[in-house]
Structure 1
Amino acid sequence: MKNIKLIFTVIFLIVFCAINAQEKKIKFNKGTLRICSSKQFQIEGYDGDEVIIKSLHEKREENSPWVVRGYAKSKNLAKVSSTTIKSKDSISNSNFVFFNVDNDRKKGLKKLGKKNQNADLGIYFTIEERDGELLFKDQNQVRFIMASNERYLVKIPNTIKLNWSTNNCSEESKNSQVRFFNSKASSLSYFKGEVEITSTLNNMKLKDVSGPVTVNTIGGNVTIEFEKEYPKGIFSIYSNNGFIDVQIPNKSSLLIDAIGKSVYSDVDFKVLEEKEMDDFGHINTRMKLKYNTGKYKMKLNSGYGTVYLRKL
């Protein structure tokens, strides 16, 4: 029995060390963290002075196979499919997959180059620091949309500003933009600094983020939850055709301007204003609501989507 426990302990330590080895720390506690990536991030605020990045996915194998077409006799070519065979001795017009078999040679070595310095940690985006700004951005590729299982946990100091865009931040680079689609929402939790988020086709979840917060998203849903915190700054949430779902803590003091196809709530608001708006044949509802003293403003606009305001 002791041997079994020892084995499990050793396995746990190996796994624990392996997970923690997938971590990058950057000293950065003043300025702006700017994210220009549609990959999935779980961002958490904390009272520290480092930005900590941890990959939550399996590390890629560098030598992924690629397909070539034509004539070849190398033993490193494995035939994967055939289109046309002209003769018994010819393998032209066929597809082959090539494997680069140098895994043993690179053991104990690291691939050099600025773009590859984080690959050993399972981090597949570019990291740059300049002029008080820490920048995360996708590497430029031909424009397309692809599914990705990449997930990152990023811990950030509460003393910095977060400017997060799931789109390419540079107007000049839009033609080389690559977009990653994830079915799960990216998230921001426990952060006390200023937040600005711009998103397309990505769902966002905020938890215990006190504000100020600005979110502008197209085709994405926004969920805001509170457990230990409550709104202490201005919230401006715009979600074109997505829903907005907000928990209203008992301690909060809010003046809410809500626009959407419909507004649902189980909170005892004081209704200050209610009207319907005709937007090219689409009828939207606008409501001004007050909760407690109404000290902090919250502007919610879901376009043709729905607004949900619920008790904590």
Structure 2
Amino acid sequence: MSAPERIPPRSVTSAELLAEGELTVRGRIRDASNAALLCTVAYAGQEASCVYKPVAGERPLWDFPDGTLAGREVAAYEVSEATGWGLVPPTVLRDGPYGEGMCQLWIEATPDAELLALVDEEEPGPGWKAIGFAEVGQGRTALLVHADDERLRRLAVLDAVINNADRKGGHLLPTPDGRLYGIDHGVTFNAENKLRTLLWGWAGEPLPSESVGVLEGLRDALGEGGALALRLAPLITPAEVDATRARVEALLASGRHPEPNGEWPAIPWPPV
């Protein structure tokens, strides 16, 4: 009698793995401002590391409704996917060991990638963009710069769309295969302008043609009954969806990267 045919495990997407898999908590990420748990998730013969942030572990904020940060993280992923740039790791909203929360694929970053630097110069060198001057101790200042990198420029456009109030250097994850991811998108999509970022190097410059095309696609997807508008509806408020649509329209109307407006601190603290 011949042995039964072995059926290989079914291939699943990262989002399906995160949404349907069994979560096992491995530890806590101590430097996170809200409860963030390092987990493994297993489903259909596949396993991966992920970050699980339960809503119950969110700290109240004065300018964001309580219990909404996890949904905003998922909304940022949805917008990232709609751009086609894939700048946010796969992220889902699901139940877990400590209740509903955000679950995001863990990304192993390249630790020696040079995206930010402090230089003792008045102007950035070739391949760099100026952010501003920072105190470095003993009464000294240095120029904080970021790389003039297409990946960062795309992320700057995404941040302008989602109104990211906390784009720090530690939220940038370059990977060995040349990709760049942004993480920690809990304070996004506010209806008021709260853009705070390190990626001001292109402020006021014309948007690349690629970005204009992406924004035009977002405008269509955010229209009444649009695919992205429908995906965002359960994650953020109707007013915030409207504000996202308005930011896209404003970017297309100006054709330029936004500039700090002086009404809100332009750079997050601490910046890294």
TM tier, smaller: under 0.3
Q: Give the number of the structure whose residues are more often strand, by fraction.
A: 1
Query: TM-score, length-normalised on structure 1?
Result: 0.24
- When normalised by structure 2's length, the TM-score is 0.27
Higher helix share: 2
